[in-house]
Amino acid sequence: MPVSLDNLLVVGISSRALFDLEAEEAIFRNEGLEAYRRHQLDNENEILKLGAGFALVRALLKLNVLVHNQRFVEVVIMSRNSTETSMRIFNSIRHYDLDITRAVLSGGAPLAPYLHAFNVSLFLSLHEDDVQAAIDSGVAAARLYQKPDNALAELGQIRIAFDGDAVIFSDESERIYQTQGIEAFENHERENALKPLPEGPFARLLKALSYIQNNVKSADGRSAPIRTALVTARSSPAHERVIRTLRAWDVAIDETFFMGGVAKSDVLAAFKPHIFFDDQPGHCERAAPLVQTGIVPLKKPGQVNSQER
């Protein structure tokens, strides 16, 4: 019987997001493919330093040891490396004792076509084109900023923070705000307060995390191993629709911050997430020096999710 990934939280992460490959990226861009190939082969046994997504991946994989003989998370390395140049990546995975056994090595081809083949719930990369293609295909995805100085600090819980509109929820209300202004946005939210917001690209991920929260306890048997936060620019009266939507989804967010236009960075620094997801460059740029941040691109107009076909 084939192994099924259907009931797992599957994280696809590029090798450059898991490990620090910025020097190698510079060689590829400045000197070309053959110089990159030669460098990787010559340095095959040199262990790579930790990248922007490493702390989150290491923390998520720890969920698999909380319940005997049950896995909750699968991580798939998704790289444009060729098979020939990939050994350094696998050697580094083994060195850091990461429970990662699956990989996509596309030899320079786009990665997005393989996301659904591995049932990927979240895709993390430093390549903008791959992240945009993932979002356009209906997969939660973010382009990671370079890690802040404290990104690799050990935390007792997995902590993940989300923006609301265009991340957890669709960008329907955000578009009204951007095109018609705050008054039209607030009127729209009042009129639709009892109508759940449509799902955004990260709704499926949030629901998967909520399921794990409800079914797994930490080693001390008391606290949940995952803590989530919603950090949204919304404020009253636009709060009601958010609360009612989460109720309709049967999802409990541990901490919620209705910022009302106040900068999010100080709240995020206090919450200390492994990662924060937002669609607005301004919010991301202010947060990135303080917490690991991933920017979520908007889906391009006219793109159809594979689930919608």
Q: Give the residue numbers annotated as catalytic, written as ranges.
A: 163
> Distance of alpha carbon 79 from its chain centroid, rounded?
16
Q: CA separation (Å) from 23 to 20, 46, 294?
A: 8, 13, 21
Which burial class, exposed, middle or buried, applies to 281 when counting CB atoms under 10 A from its CB (0-12, 13-18, 19+)?
exposed
Contact 210, 218 (CB under 8 A): no
Which burial class, exposed, middle or buried, applies to 87 when counting CB atoms under 10 A from its CB (0-12, 13-18, 19+)?
middle
CA distance linking residue 275 with residue 135, whole number of Å = 18
List residues bridging with 165 in a β-sheet: 169
Is the preceding peptide bond at 201 cis, omega within 30 degrees of 0? no
